[in-house]
Every structure is written in structure tokens, then in C-alpha cells.
């Protein structure tokens, strides 16, 4: 069992890549957490990142796991390493927050959650954009009955693809990526928080071009192969009886992102972009003529919000919201969609998760809510 602590929650990071800067920007400003150490496969990278943000220690992943003041370890390694690193964190008796996906294999996610239960530690997982003011306000609006009984949903993400602006985009068009694995976590997590667990999926996919050309950076003009569907259309059926249509495309000349609508018996609620922390919602009654804006209220900070919410829940002895079970369920849904495309069949989803209450509108990341925490300048 993990050691019992009081006061601000100690945090360590494993992985000093680009995303770590965004996490550290916020985590080092929250009074209720203290970042003690940054670790990386390349200790010099960890040292540079720690120095940049005033973190007092750096080293290897093993150094992070051995640090006595670290309670939550933030796993920012590459996706294929998530399972191995998270299992090591659990084995060290520490709680895990992992970037998406929780693992790349549903069996690994299930094993990780079981190991965490046996060790008495928690697993939390990205994306934490869904904990921001935008999506949380929309979820509270649903819970308040503003649209009547939810019946169905529609989500759209359409773009020409990232090769025009990304300097090294080939990996985004290969196994483990594409619009399904790169984009769907934001939209699928939002849908399951709104409508509950998914019980089955069906889907079709297509690839408009077998090769694409890099449009910017030092590799501009290079041609690379496309090995995954670049447009995915899926139908999700939920345990509660509703359904949702999901369209994800890197094949559209027309760009339309952040489109999530939930249709109810009395009205429609348009959510803000699930890939950001802010944004107002729009409520349209069936017999109304204009949408009513629902202003967002809550936290709009950035990456690290989920770690903070998990830390406060840990001290309070209550469940955290971005639970590992949700991240594992979303992974099951994405793998189910991939299987449905490949095998041309309906795929049953057998994982589930407990209902999660929306965050309160007055959740303030910069408040010192734990004994001994002080507001930082």
C-alpha cells in the first residue's frame, strides 16, 4: 500500500519531451501539488526540463520511482511504452496519471487496472481537456435536464490532414494513429461522459490516397505511405439505449472541428471543442428559432488539470474523475472501431465504468485547498 501523506500532493514526471513543458507550466503553478523531480531515458533532457521550470531534482525513470515524496507519477513516455512504464509506477506503490492512450493494447490496460487495484493505487488518464470549463459546463447542462432525455449524438472532425503543416507527419498516417487514434480520444471520451458506456460499435473506413506529400519544414516534398484509414465513420450504441454517429476525416478539403451535438427530447446541446479546455455551449429548443449561449464556467488552465483533480480527490478519499477505467473503455471503443472496419461486423464492447459527476463550476486550480498549501506568486 502507498504511504499516507498530507498537504500538497507530490508529483514526478517520467518523459521530458515536448508535452512535458505544457504539463509543467501548469503543475508548477498549482498550490495543491508540488513537482519534485523530472525523469527521462536521457537524463540530460530531464535536467534541462527541470531547470527550465525550477523543479529541484532530475534523473532517470528509476530516480522518479524511488523519490520518497512523489505520490503521483505522470507518464509522458511514447504510447508504446505506456503499459510498461505505468506498471513500473504501480509496482513502486505510486499513483499513475498517463497521457493518452492508457496503453496500446486493451489487454495491457486491463492488466494495469488490476495491478493498481491490488496495489491500492489509482490510475488516471488523459485527455483532461474534458475536465475543462467547456465540456464540464455542457455536461452539467445535460444533467440539469436542459434538453430533456438525451436520445442521440453526432460528432464531426474533418480536415485535409496534418501533412501540410506538420514537419514530420508520416507517423500520423500509420498504425496506431490516423484520425481514429489521434483524434477520437477527445470525442469518444466526451461522448461516454455524456451518455455512458458503449456496448457495441459498427464502422466503415476508407483511404483517399495511398501516399501523401510533406508540405512544410526540412522534409517538404518528401512522399510517404498511408497505411491506415484516413476517414472513419462509426456508429456507437450505448448501454442506456442512445446512439452516436462519429465521423473522423483527414480527407476533407473543408475543415470542421470541435463539432459535438447531443439531441434530446426537448432541445439540442452543441458542445464546445473537446480538444480545448474552454468554450461556450449552445442550446436550441425544438420550437425555438435561435440558439441560447451557455457560458462556460470552471477551469481553463491546460494540461495537468487532471493530475490536480486526481490529487485533490486522493486527499479527500473520493474517486477522481478522469479514471483509468474510462480511458481503458475509450481504448476498447477505438480498437472495436478498428476491428469493425477490418472485419465488416458489429463489435461488442464488454468494458464499462462507473458514472462520473461533473466538476463543480467553482473548481479553482489556483486555490490552496490542502493543509500546508500556499498560493504561488
Residues 307 and 241 in one domain: no
Residues 13 and 118 in one domain: yes
Q: Indicate the pTM of the whole model.
A: 0.93
Identify whether 103 is part of a domain: yes
Residues 108 and 151 in one domain: no
Residue 2 pLDDT: 58
pLDDT tens for residues 123-157?
999 999 999 999 999 999 999 999 999 999 999 99
Identify whether 151 is part of a domain: yes
Identify whether 352 is part of a domain: no
Residues 286 and 308 in one domain: no
Q: Is 60 exceeded by the pLDDT of residue 1?
A: no
Q: Is 70 exceeded by the pLDDT of residue 98?
A: yes
Least confident of 50-59, 83-92, 218-227: 218-227
The domain boundary residue, chosen from 276, 294, 312: 294
CATH of the domain at 166: 3.30.360.10
Residue 4 pLDDT: 65
Residues 157 and 276 in one domain: yes
* Number of domains present in the structure of the chain: 2
Q: What is the mean pLDDT of residues 17-32?
A: 96
Q: Which domain holds residue 2?
A: 1-128+299-321+357-377
Residues 64 and 50 in one domain: yes
- Residue in the structure block whose three cell numbers are 481503458: 328
Amino acid at each position: 500500500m502507498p504511504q499516507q501523506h498530507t498537504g500538497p500532493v507530490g508529483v514526478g514526471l517520467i518523459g521530458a519531451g515536448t508535452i512535458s513543458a505544457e504539463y509543467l507550466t501548469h503543475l508548477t503553478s498549482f498550490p495543491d501539488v508540488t513537482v519534485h523531480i523530472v525523469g527521462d531515458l536521457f537524463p540530460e533532457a530531464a535536467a534541462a526540463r527541470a531547470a527550465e521550470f525550477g523543479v529541484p531534482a532530475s534523473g532517470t525513470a528509476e530516480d522518479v520511482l524511488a523519490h520518497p515524496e512523489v505520490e503521483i507519477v505522470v507518464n509522458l513516455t511514447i504510447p508504446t511504452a505506456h503499459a510498461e512504464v505505468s506498471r513500473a509506477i504501480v509496482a513502486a506503490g505510486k499513483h499513475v496519471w498517463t497521457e493518452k492512450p492508457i496503453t496500446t493494447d486493451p489487454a495491457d490496460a486491463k492488466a494495469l487496472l488490476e495491478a493498481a487495484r491490488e496495489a491500492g493505487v489509482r490510475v488516471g488518464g488523459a485527455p483532461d481537456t474534458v475536465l475543462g470549463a467547456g465540456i464540464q459546463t455542457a455536461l452539467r447542462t445535460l444533467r440539469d435536464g436542459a434538453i430533456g432525455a438525451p436520445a442521440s449524438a453526432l460528432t464531426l472532425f474533418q480536415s485535409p490532414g496534418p501533412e501540410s503543416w506538420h514537419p514530420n507527419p508520416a507517423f500520423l498516417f500509420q498504425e496506431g494513429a490516423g484520425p481514429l487514434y489521434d483524434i477520437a480520444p477527445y470525442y469518444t471520451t466526451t461522448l461516454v461522459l455524456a451518455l455512458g458506456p458503449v456496448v457495441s460499435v459498427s464502422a466503415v473506413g476508407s483511404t483517399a490516397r495511398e501516399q501523401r506529400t510533406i508540405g512544410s519544414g526540412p522534409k517538404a516534398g518528401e512522399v510517404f505511405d498511408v497505411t491506415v484509414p484516413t476517414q472513419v465513420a462509426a456508429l456507437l450504441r450505448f448501454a442506456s439505449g442512445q446512439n452516436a454517429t462519429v465521423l473522423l476525416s483527414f480527407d476533407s478539403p473543408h475543415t470542421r472541428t470541435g463539432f459535438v451535438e447531443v439531441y434530446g427530447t426537448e432541445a439540442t446541446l452543441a458542445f464546445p471543442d473537446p480538444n480545448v479546455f474552454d468554450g461556450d455551449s449552445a442550446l436550441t429548443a425544438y420550437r425555438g428559432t435561435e440558439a441560447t449561449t451557455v457560458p462556460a464556467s470552471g477551469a481553463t488552465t491546460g494540461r495537468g488539470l487532471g493530475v490536480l483533480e486526481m490529487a485533490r480527490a486522493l486527499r479527500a478519499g473520493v474517486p477522481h474523475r478522469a479514471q483509468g477505467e474510462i480511458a481503458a473503455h475509450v481504448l476498447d471503443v477505438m480498437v472495436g472501431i478498428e476491428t469493425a472496419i477490418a472485419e465488416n461486423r458489429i463489435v461488442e464492447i464488454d468494458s464499462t465504468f462507473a458514472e462520473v459527476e461533473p466538476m463543480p463550476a467553482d473548481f479553482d486550480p489556483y486555490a490552496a485547498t490542502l493543509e500546508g498549501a500556499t498560493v504561488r506568486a
